[in-house]
Chain A
Amino acid sequence: MEDAVRSGKPVLLQGNEAMVEGALAAGCRFFAGYPITPATEISEAMSVKLPAVGGTFIQMEDEIASLGAVIGASLAGAKAMTATSGPGFSLMQENIGFACVAEVPCVIVNVMRGGPSTGLPTRPSQGDVMQARWGTHGEHPVIVLSVSTTWECFDVTVKAFNLSEKYRTPVIILSDEVVAHTREKVQLPHPQEIEVIDRIKPNMPPEWYIPYEDNARGVPPMGVFGDGYRYHVTGLIHDVRGFPTERPDEIQAFLNRLHRKIYQNYFDIVFIEEEFTEDAELLVISYGSVARSAKRAVREARKRGVKAGMVKLITLWPFPRQFLEPYLRKVRAVLVPEMNFGQVAREVKRINQGMTRVEKLNRIDGQLITPSEILTRLLKM
């Protein structure tokens, strides 16, 4: 069978399938997962495509095991990924924290569905924005990206792998049921046109290798099991050699570096997209499937003479504060439509500090927010 996706012709793909293509293009060669709606198609496609490129797919006994296997595979040199939805994402939290502390690159897709608990398995939601940021215990920065189109499912997955390799950290992609299952025409780039970043490996003699030593980037080169750089990997707070420590100066230095390596590279990590923002008086801030409705609503509003503009957040965490602040300073009001009680709206209000008026538009009934709902609100603002 010919691989239609790589033919260079436009293809019809659903978001979940496009993510698999993105992962493969980025060099993903290991996937472990546990079936869950609405993420299952990712596992299914991986079970077909990974072995064909010499990679490995495995269905584990649960989501904790899935992420454990992903971390193990990454430590042994494979770019690795898992995909799940709410209940599975909750189970993964402890190992996400492990990957942060042990600095193991990996990609975790959460196709959001309605919650809490088993919730609404076949309905979209954006209820996990805060969980993605704060779901683990303790404090550490995270990179969380979101997707709103089939193309982005491809493109953002490539970005997620690149960031995770570059900064030695798990990267979470928040998708949702609508984006995951919508079929759209996409033309995937030729593999050679795709920028693929690999982790930096140590090149000094093994006896000189200090696995967690700080450097200007804040990201130490990563030894891979079997490459001759034998070292210790642990979820305990460790010194530069990777050994557990309780020395306050070593604890402080380690945690500072974990934070620094993300925040000092803020502008390399934060992506947004803008439309009609130059002269906007009303600004819609949205992400995920709701951004599709927002785009339509803003265009309609423009047709009616309302100076509306929009910012689509692709990076959710670290929060695109520096990008939003200039707009908050100059627009008359901001609208944040989202399928939750206002998780991003809360963050916008936090950075707004009274500069403008921030309004929310929320649906938590398992239905996508429609363009006309956003438009109606914009016309009243």
Chain B
Amino acid sequence: MAELTKLIHKYLRHDKKFPHVWCPGCGNGIILGSLIRAIDKTGFEKDDIVLISGIGCSSRLPVYVDFNTLHTTHGRALTFATGVKLANPRLQVIVVMGDGDAMAIGGNHFIHAARRNLNITAIIVNNNIYGMTGGQFSPTTPYGARSTTSPFGHIEHPFAISELAVTAGASFVARGTVYHTHLLDQLIEKAIYKRGFAVVEVISNCHTQYGRKNKKGGPVEMLKWMKKSAVRVERAKEMSAEEMEGKFTIGVLVDRELPIFTKEYEKIRQEAKKEYGILG
């Protein structure tokens, strides 16, 4: 408890008028807690952290914490992050996005950011719905699910965020849930430490919108569903396709060393200086 009080005092903004905007029981609060614990573990100074988000319930997260915080336009957080990181590579850039934010309007930025491989940590809060605008389907809404814009059941098929990140070329990809908080702390910490584009997909609950429309119950029932459906990647390897039916993996999906954009660009600077002399 004393530890918790210390973290609250150190990282929450005292001049921000609480209460927060989230529904009671929303997974966003758990993710904020995990993020704070992970950052605290890494030992980075608050001045060196830039926390960036898009638009959505989950993207309201930065305003509550005492870092350099930047709440951008819907879907574009990674583009702003790219500029911040390139202008000052010393800064630790962490981006929080929703599933709609990162996969629909920002889907193109996401795959290009992964491919470019800047040293940025991307946390995607996947609640399978557009929470903020009142429960319309998102690119991760499952087939058949109800939402305010799929009242007869969804006929499209969802993106698998983490798998997409792996294919697009991210250096580090992990999936966690808001039920497995201990694991989530570790995954976020690893992602921040990782040199290269690091993605953490967090399965979260929007009981207010997604839960209610799909009879998934309240926060507790949805957390129980996560507990039941999540399988550690290590265990999943020993399971058959039938056993994995209706389940998903959690843990580190990929962790690889790839050339980092800023390092590569430094070589370009040397080339250009040689060829054109020092301009100035």
Contact = CB atoms under 8 A, between A and B. Distances in A.
28 contacts: A1-B275, A24-B279, A52-B273, A52-B279, A65-B82, A65-B108, A66-B79, A68-B76, A68-B80, A69-B83, A69-B86, A70-B83, A71-B72, A73-B84, A74-B87, A95-B73, A225-B68, A226-B48, A226-B50, A227-B47, A228-B47, A232-B13, A232-B63, A232-B70, A233-B69, A241-B16, A243-B63, A244-B63
Given A75-B84, A243-B16, A48 B112 contact: no
A49 interface: yes
Contact of B108 (A50, A61, A98): A61
A60 interface: yes
A226 to B, nearest CB: 5
Interface string A48-61: 11111110101011
A3 B48 CA distance: 37
Interface string B67-109: 1111111001001111111111011000000000000000011
Given A70-B83, A76-B91, 10 more contacts: A52-B277, A66-B79, A67-B79, A69-B83, A72-B79, A95-B73, A225-B84, A233-B71, A235-B71, A236-B71
A345 interface: no
Nearest to A228: B47
B84 A76 contact: yes
B68 A72 contact: no
Interface string B14-37: 011100000000000000000000
Given A74-B83, A75-B84, A230 B275 contact: no
B86 A30 contact: yes
Interface stretch (B158-166, B173-181, B263-271): B263-271
A230 B63 contact: no
Contacts of A80: 83, 87
Contacts of B246: none
Interface of B: 13, 15-17, 46-48, 50, 52, 62-63, 66-73, 76, 79-88, 90-91, 108-109, 112, 265, 268-269, 271-273, 275-280
A50 B83 CA distance: 15
Nearest to A56: B86
Given A65-B109, A230-B68, A58 B86 contact: yes
8 closest A-B pairs by beta carbon, nearest first, are: A72-B83, A68-B79, A69-B83, A73-B83, A76-B87, A72-B80, A51-B272, A73-B87
A225 B271 CA distance: 29
Contacts of A52: 269, 272-273, 275-279
Given A68-B76, A75-B70, A231-B68, A225 B91 contact: yes
A94 interface: yes
B97 to A, nearest CB: 13
Given A54-B269, A225-B50, A228-B47, A30 B87 contact: yes
Nearest to A51: B272
Chain B CB within 10 A, most for which of A1, A30, A73, A78: A73
Interface in A10-49: 24, 29-30, 32, 48-49
Contacts of A233: 69-71
B65 to A, nearest CB: 9
A71 B73 CA distance: 11
B112 A56 contact: no
Contacts of B52: 72
A226 B17 contact: no
A77 interface: yes
Contacts of A32: 82-83
B86 A98 contact: no
B275 A95 contact: no
B168 to A, nearest CB: 12
A193 interface: no
A64 interface: yes
A60 B82 CA distance: 9
Interface string A212-235: 000000000000011110111111
A330 interface: no
A53 B109 contact: no
A72 B47 CA distance: 16
A68 B72 contact: yes
A70 B73 CA distance: 14
A98 B75 CA distance: 13
B105 to A, nearest CB: 9
Nearest to B53: A234
B54 to A, nearest CB: 10
Contacts of A278: none
Contacts of B63: 232, 234, 243-244
A259 interface: no
A61 B88 contact: no
Contact of A72 (B46, B81, B90, B278): B81
Contact of B68 (A49, A226, A234): A226
B218 to A, nearest CB: 28
Contacts of B81: 72
A95 B72 CA distance: 9
B11 to A, nearest CB: 11
A198 B68 CA distance: 21
A52 B268 CA distance: 8
A191 B280 CA distance: 8
Contact of B279 (A6, A65, A72, A244): A6
A268 interface: no
A2 interface: yes
A325 interface: no
Contacts of A73: 83-84, 86-87
A312 B87 CA distance: 37
A274 interface: no
